[in-house]
Structure 1
Amino acid sequence: MVQQMEGAKMLIICCFLLSNIRTASTRDTIGLGQSIRDGETLVSANESFELGFFSPGKSKSRYLGIWYKKIANGTVTWVANRDAPLPDRSGVLSISSQGNGTLILLNSTNGIVWSFNAARTAQNPVALLLESGNFVVKSGNDNDSDNFLWQSFDYPTHVLLPGMKLGVNLVTGLKRFMSSWKSADDPAQDNYIYEVDPRGVPQAVFRKGSKIKFRAGPWNGLHWTGTPQLQPNPVYTFEYVSNENEVFYRFNLIKSSVLTMMVINPQGEPQRLTWMEQTQKWAPFMPFSGLILDQCDNYALCGAYAICNMNSNSARCECLEGFVPKSPSEWDLLDTSDGCIRRTQLDCEHGDGFLKRESVKLPDTSFSRVDKNISILACKELCSKNCSCTAYANADVRGGGSGCLLWFHDLIDMKVLSEGGQDLYIRMATSELDNFERTKRRKKKKVVIIIICALLATGVILIGGFMYMRKKKRRDQGNTVGSSELDYIDRGNRKENMELPMFDWNTIADATDNFSWKNKLGEGGFGPVYRVEGQEIAVKRLSKSSGQGVEEFKNEVLLIAKLQHRNLVRLLDVTRTKFLDWSKRCQIIEGIARGLLYLHQDSRLRIIHRDLKASNVLLDNDMNPKISDFGMARAFGVDQTEANTDRVVGTYGYMSPEYAIDGLFSVKSDVFSFGVLAWRLWTEDRSLELIDKSLDGSYSLSEALRCIQVGLLCVQQRPEDRPNMSSVVLMLSGERSLPQPKQPGFFTERNLPESESSSSKRKLPLSNEITISLIEGR
């Protein structure tokens, strides 16, 4: 089950605050024969970290540790003697006089409580606390990290700091992993472990004892396959290395001013936290706050050859196509742990085939093999020739995919992903593939089509389609593609949906050339969108892996049907950028502004779009902009100016800080999305670098700078500083001088209302089903 964070448990115990610390020095180094005693500390050069003795929580025992110095009461990031506490304040840390650079921690009887032995003799060894929070032993002035005799970063405890490696040194056997404290009062190593498992193809796993609780999966070039929420962000980058010497993952800071870390608290809840300067508290980092997001993240929940799919906040197990429940009676009782078995046995001697399953979290790779240098076609041939090979996939998803990942065991721990999933090619008997194709052709499907005629005055029509089928008995799940799909739109609600016309499946399939990729316009939260040949009609098809559903679709239809504007709701091919001269680009910018102004002020409903971004602004044949995708939009009352929500939806990077963090949205939220641009180039007087080089100087310099300045005014930190859309329209079209923009708001820097409770905690589920818990300490 998903780990739920209760307020009583989350009084920042994952940060493990210090008590009873006395600071007596500001040095950062101890040399040969020198020491520090309880009450003395080492402080890094810029005073970011401090090392000394502390007592956690209510404990009277003393420990040697490292903590953030500039944070009130400190936040412990590393503990030396976590399993060997000192009973009193007699502890002494020193470098052994033997000359090999050994650190030793002594008690009142000079007994060794904790130590390490250097692999080689050092010349003039010194111990230094670095600004990164790393405590190292090195030879004299040798600052090469590869030559360190020892470093605390090699022995993480409950925290992973920027620059720390999580992985295995395959030469020395050193394992770097995170492990929880036993309690807020006891930093001894407990059962919860987060590590990189090097078996087969390396993958990140979270376990309790020897039992895997969650598997993040192998690295696919961008992220762990099971954590697509790890997206590029302005704070840190990811790094993954796998070679003959070592395997490791780490994150590195882009903005050194941000304090962020990954932590496992004693309840076994791994989180990524960021320090909020305004509130002086740690808060979950958006959008990736934790590992385990839903029930489907529980390891091997559905057993072998089954896949987990979240639906209506509950997990649903389905057999893969061509497989049936191993124990049908238990499966009917919702006990799916036995998984599924093949309906038709393989016949490798006479040739098997492969069935493609899209958008999945790849199976457990403990018994897998990888070849990084071959194509997917060569991968298929390699798997075909090996009768033990059960599936294959790309090892790296970047640049259209490369490399070969092969499975040689039962396929377990798979999950349907709404975004960031991969294609998996599953070995299957040829006869089963033939049956599968016949079933697809024979199956009668219907589509509910909603025609939104009011979208455009220019005649572009959007057709949103939802497939639905009759439910099958649960024991039949997995026998045919789509047999577990739900009847997404209740027939009894058709009147509510404006007496929608019905089109059969064949009509829509024919119109889109069977949903050919050639007719694919793009893909959004609902799923792919296709054009109809010869007509300005788009068909939106719900993806089975979509995180959205009926409510968002109905919301889009019911709102947009009531709105008419030339700039409200075809993707522009790269080859057509030559048509986008400066004049046309200005018209596009102004058109978007006027479309938003209509939503905010001139329509009969006041609409907050909440997901305005570049991919939701489409262009018609005449390059007129059309604001699209109103599934997340909210209607306001006549006198309503702002609202608060517990469900933050939208796209990371386009959301205003007050909305992303606090769920507070208004017309100024859309204004922020409209103005997202680069602040750094502006402050460095390099604004013109923002302008597309294809314009080749054929633009008005003053107009370009005006557009940039207006954009920056729209992303100012405080909502009240941002202009409304009527002012934006005037700014873009006028000649009057503009005010200087203030610094934009970032998600790590937002103003909280003063009335906000200091002990409150809210859960903010994102549109991609990520739940964010804001932690407020007492």
Structure 2
Amino acid sequence: MVSKTRFWYPFILLMFLCAGAAMDTIRPGNHLNSSTTVVSVGEMFELGFFQPTDSEHYYVGIWYKNIKEDPVVWIANRDYPVTASAFFCISDDGNLEIKQGRIIYRVTDMTLPNANVSATLLDSGNLILRDENSSILWQSFDFPSHTYLPGMKLGYDTRIQSTWSYVSWKSSNDPSPGNFTLKLDSGPEKQIMIMNGDAIYWRSYRSWGDRDNFFEFPVETRLNMYNFSFVSESDTAYLTYNIYTNDTISRFTIDATGQLRQLLWLDNEWSMLNSQPMQPCEVYAYCGANSSCSNMSSPICSCLPGFKPSSVEFWNNGDFKEGCSRKNELQCGKNDGFHLLTKVILPQKHLTQEVQSFGDCRSSCLTNCSCSGFSYTDRNCSIWTGELINLQQLPVNNSSGTDFYLKLAATDLETKRQDLLSFEVTMSPSHTKKEQCKGRWQVEHEKEVEIPLFSFSSVSAATDNFSFSNKLGEGGFGPVYKGKLLKGDEVAVKRLSRQSGQGWDELKNEAMLIGKLQHKNLVKLLGTNAMVTLPWKTRVRIMEGIAQGLLYLHQYSRVQIIHRDLKASNILLDEDMNPKISDFGMARIFGGTEQRATKRIVGTYGYMAPEYALGGVFSVKSDVFSLGVLLLEILSGKKNTGFYLSNSLDLIGYAWDLWTSKRPLEFINPETHDTYCPIAATRYMNIALLCVEERAANRPTMSDVVMMLNNELTVLPSPVQPAFSNARNVQDSSQSIPETSQNKLTISVITAR
């Protein structure tokens, strides 16, 4: 779904034509002032003076003739603003200049054989200076500002000392050069970069020389309207593009916040097709040195194995720039070893050499005391020295990841182990012999999944014969117990009760699905209920973590899964308050954009999407609705079910009333008011209301939700009236019913009651 984003740059454009027909050319003796312009022959672009809002300054610029929303594409005098008395003309020596009294600003500074030249504005937006033979002497496309138009170049040519780079505005109403620059790196990798001053802010993943990775540039290609070309020679390299259809208006801009945006003029507004960096991990070195960044995790930064935060205080407060440092220094010899990291985007700054084998590459790193790690592909051995910068962890199903061998001290390799099992033990003595077949269960007669099986006696021994002292709680299947296997692994054991409202199929379904899932925000361990007071940062971590886990289910797991019973009591919190999605008894495997209907409606009212609760139709958007309800509960500290106010049917209706009356902060739990950010809180409420919209098609996908949660620069659409919002008024009752109730999550600490 293409997201439409409005960028209302408030310009006062002075577009009054001088007497007579519009012209596209300036000749010697002609000039432009603050009330005259030049228009391209097809009336696509216009050249003249413009004045930003709240500014006394004037600039010579080029803008779209018939577009009033964010129209400026080029500025002649970015670092030299003038007043309304200035004019733009061709000088006596044939150069373009801006005059203001006795002060002259030279737009071009060339030595020409004669002054018989003219300046013409083309329908491409290019201003060209030509001699009497129509030879081009100068063009504005060679001196870009902040907008990358079709036909322009991004790159460099060392032969003529030219660099085609794009510099952001200082602010939305200040065209002077800002902090961010879009450029093509002149190094061997030919990476596209966004620089923040002298520091890298964003970079494309690989070289443009790799044709298999041609669209690393942030471009939405599914519309099939772009034709990109990359030219690379010994002294020059540049990227250029054109659009197949003449009536399509599209461009790229680098804005004052450092975002590279791909824009399309559609339905009388700019629609944003793509933006980079889109997620925090795409910001260069977001997690600092010797760390891994994963947009699928919460928190998204983690120290590499064998490393610890350089500043625990900063790290715990969500400031990861200090990065991580080694727990134990390398011994520079055979006592060191390697830990394999799979599916990663490799760090920056490495040396590559050709070797005969993987063993040669490993030995080369092992004997190099400065080596931090290596990667080996087809006899190419890449060696990293010093700190590791910008390593990113990709989802398990991503095909573009690479293996990286991290060099560690022997002590770190010896102590590394898994703390928790990656599966749930689910057993019932009355069903194991009937349903097991060499450790496999048939899944919908299509696919099989291997699940670890344990004898009833071993599970009974692990839980001390299911003793009450080891009982953790009751689930929909029956009681849940803690236990410890012979190897010392702590597990949570579900035991199916004969009185359970759910059956063997649901239990088997849950075990099968969890066996397929490998994400840190999906349940690995069940625990005990606990009342907790959640500070604002913890609520944010929980909301983002739940969204990441749900995105994994919908998009990145080996099979697409719809949970169908997402609610507060199915979110577990570990000791570090990281959320875990649990209870997959109602979950279903899906495919593509499929939706299904069922006569057996299961789940929890208050969290069910309207199309599911009323018609039995469910899809990935059903989970999105449940997530929206859950976000509202976390923000407010109130339950959707059991919430009563005289004007509202439920929590959704209450949230909608406050939103439409422009009082969103009254919805936020007052216990967090000392620590929360009002802008962020309002943003999260906006996202939650988008998730609970009545029509499933209007709700965002989970990838949209994660992007909106993690990227505060993404402009959010306004929500429409959600489902179940005040369809009727709840009358006062004589019964004593509390107006609010404390929201509860589950902490997964193995402590019996």
Pairwise same-fold verdict (TM > 0.5): yes
**Aligned-partner Cα distance in 1 for 2:55–2:619:** 45
Pick the aligned partner of 2:393 from 413, 416, 426: 416
The correspondence of residues 53-452 of structure 1 with structure 2, limited to 5 A, is: 53-72=49-68, 75-94=71-90, 96-98=91-93, 102-109=94-101, 111-118=103-110, 125-138=117-130, 148-198=136-186, 201-210=189-198, 212-216=200-204, 218-219=206-207, 221=210, 232-234=221-223, 235-236=225-226, 243-277=233-267, 280-285=268-273, 288-294=274-280, 296-310=281-295, 315-326=299-310, 336-343=320-327, 345-346=329-330, 355-365=339-349, 368-369=350-351, 388-393=370-375, 406-418=383-395, 419=398, 422-428=401-407, 431=410, 435=414, 439=416, 445-448=421-424
2:59 paired with 1:52: no
Match status 1:459 vs 2:459: no
The CA distance in 1 between the partners of 2:95 and 2:347, in whole Å, is 43
The offset of 1:59, in angstroms, is 3.6
Q: Is it true that 1:556 corresponds to 2:562 in the alignment?
A: yes
- d(CA) in 1 for partners of 2:129, 2:85: 24
For residues 568-717 of structure 1, what are the structure 2 equivalents within 5 Å? 599-600=596-597, 603-604=599-600, 636-638=612-614
Q: Secondary structure of the residue that 2:222 maps to in structure 1?
A: coil
Q: Contact between 1:354 and 1:425, CA under 8 Å: does it hold in 2?
A: no
Deviation string, structure 1 residues 213-255 (Cα, Å, up to 9, x no partner): 4455553737999979756432435555555323444554345
1:449 deviation in Å? 7.5
Alpha-carbon separation, structure 1, partners of 2:411 and 2:86: 73
Three-state SS of the structure 2 residue aligned to 1:133 is coil
Q: Secondary structure at the match of 1:262?
A: strand
- Check 1:118–1:346 CA distance in 2 against 1; reply closer, same or farther (3 A cut): farther
Instruction: Give the letter for the 1:340 counterpart.
Output: C
**Using the alignment, how far apart are the partners of 2:117 and 2:407 within structure 1?**
62
Instruction: Answer yes or no: is 1:770 the counterpart of 2:707.
Output: yes
Q: Does the 8 A contact of 1:236 with 1:255 survive in 2?
A: no
Aligned-partner Cα distance in 2 for 1:11–1:537: 41
Q: Which amino acid is the alignment partner of residue 114 of structure 1?
A: R
Contact 1:201 1:370 (C-alpha < 8 Å) held by counterparts: no
Shift of 1:447: 0.9
Q: CA deviation at 1:636?
A: 2.5
Residue 153 of structure 1: SS of its match in structure 2? helix
Offset at residue 76 of structure 1 (A): 0.5
Equivalent pair of 1:371/1:405 in contact (CA under 8 Å): yes
Q: Distance in 2 between matches of 1:648 and 1:403?
A: 45
Contact 2:170 2:178 (C-alpha < 8 Å) held by counterparts = yes
C-alpha change, 1:132 and 1:225, in structure 2 (3 Å) is closer
In 2, the alpha carbon distance for the partners of 1:505 and 1:171 equals 70
Match of 2:299, SS state, is strand
SS in structure 2 opposite 1:107? strand
CA distance in 2, matches of 1:254, 1:299: 33
Give deviations 1:289-314, integer Å, cap 9, x for gaps. 342523x45543433211233467x5
**Equivalent pair of 1:19/1:57 in contact (CA under 8 Å):** no
C-alpha spacing 1:128/1:642, structure 2 compared with 1 (3 Å): farther
CA contact (8 A) 1:762 1:774 kept: no
Is 1:17–2:11 an aligned residue pair? yes
Q: What's the offset of the Cα at 1:81?
A: 1.1
Tell me if the contact between 1:62 and 1:87 (Cα under 8 Å) persists in the aligned partners.
yes
* Partner residue, 2:475: 495
Are residues 446 and 414 of structure 1, via their aligned partners in 2, closer, same or farther at CA, if it must alter by over 3 Å? closer
CA contact under 8 A between 1:273 and 1:284: conserved in structure 2? yes
SS of alignment partner, residue 87 of structure 1: coil
The equivalences for 1:3-42 within 5 A come to: 12-13=7-8, 15=9, 17-24=11-18, 25-30=21-26, 35-42=31-38
Contact kept in structure 2, 1:646 and 1:763, CA below 8 Å = no
**Aligned equivalents of 2:482, 2:214: Cα separation in 1:** 39
Opposite residue 66 of structure 1, the aligned amino acid is I
Amino acid in the other structure paired with 1:638? L
- AA aligned opposite 1:413: N
TM-score if structure 1 supplies the norm length? 0.54
Q: CA deviation at 1:372?
A: 11
State how far apart, in whole Å, the 1-side matches of 2:474 and 2:133 are.
77
Structure 2 Cα separation of the partners of residues 404 and 240 of structure 1: 27
Q: Which is higher, the Rg of structure 1 or of structure 2?
A: 2
Once the two structures are TM-superposed, the CA of residue 151 in structure 1 deviates from its matched residue by: 2.4
Change (3 A) 1:197 1:447: same
Alpha-carbon distance in 1 for matches of 2:231, 2:82? 38
Aligned-partner Cα distance in 2 for 1:345–1:325: 15
Residue identity opposite 1:259 in structure 2? I
2:239 and 2:360 mapped to 1: Cα distance?
Answer: 28
2:562 maps to a residue whose letter is E
Cα deviation, 1:417-461, whole Å, max 9, x if unaligned, reads: 34576325245158479648xx56x8773413899x9x9996235
**Offset from partner CA, 1:722-774 (integer Å, 9 cap, x none):** xxxxxxxxxxxxxxxxxxxxxxxxxxxxxxxxxx9xxxx99876258333535
2:323 maps to a residue whose letter is G
**1:53 counterpart SS class:** strand
Q: TM-score, normalised by structure 2?
A: 0.55
Offset of residue 71 of structure 1: 1.6
Give the residue type in structure 1 aligned to 2:393. V
Letter in 1 for 2:52: P
Counterpart of 2:631 in structure 1 is: none
- CA distance in structure 1 between the partners assigned to 2:388 and 2:161 by the alignment: 29
- Rounded Cα–Cα distance in structure 1 between residues aligned with 2:422 and 2:220: 36
1:551-586, CA deviations, whole angstroms, 9 ceiling, x for partnerless residues?
Answer: 87496255897799xx977xxxxxxxxxxxxxxxxx
Number of residue pairs the alignment of both structures matches? 528
How many Å separate the matches in 1 of 2:103 and 2:81? 13
Q: Is the contact between residue 11 and residue 53 of structure 2 (CA under 8 Å) also seen in structure 1?
A: yes
Please give the per-residue CA displacement for 1:71-116, whole angstroms capped at 9, x wherever unaligned: 246700111012222312441222x454xxx532232536422322
CA distance 1:282–1:331, change in 2 (3 Å): closer
Instruction: Note if contact 2:278-2:707 (Cα within 8 Å) is conserved in structure 1.
Output: no
Give the Cα–Cα distance (whole angstroms) in 2 for the partners of residues 375 and 164 of structure 1.
Answer: 44
The 8 Å contact of residues 57 and 83 in structure 2, kept in 1 or not, is answered as yes
Match for residue 709 of structure 1? none
Equivalent residue number for residue 558 of structure 2: none
Task: Please give the secondary structure, in 1, of the residue aligned with 2:17.
Answer: coil
Separation in structure 1 between the aligned mates of residue 450 and residue 611 of structure 2, nearest angstrom: 21
Distance change (3 Å), C-alpha of 1:383 and 1:67: farther
Q: Classify 1:282/1:386 alpha carbon distance in 2 versus 1 (closer, same or farther; 3 Å).
A: same
Compared CA separation, residues 211 and 459, structure 1 to 2 (3 A): closer
Within 1, Cα distance between the matches of 2:704 and 2:717?
20
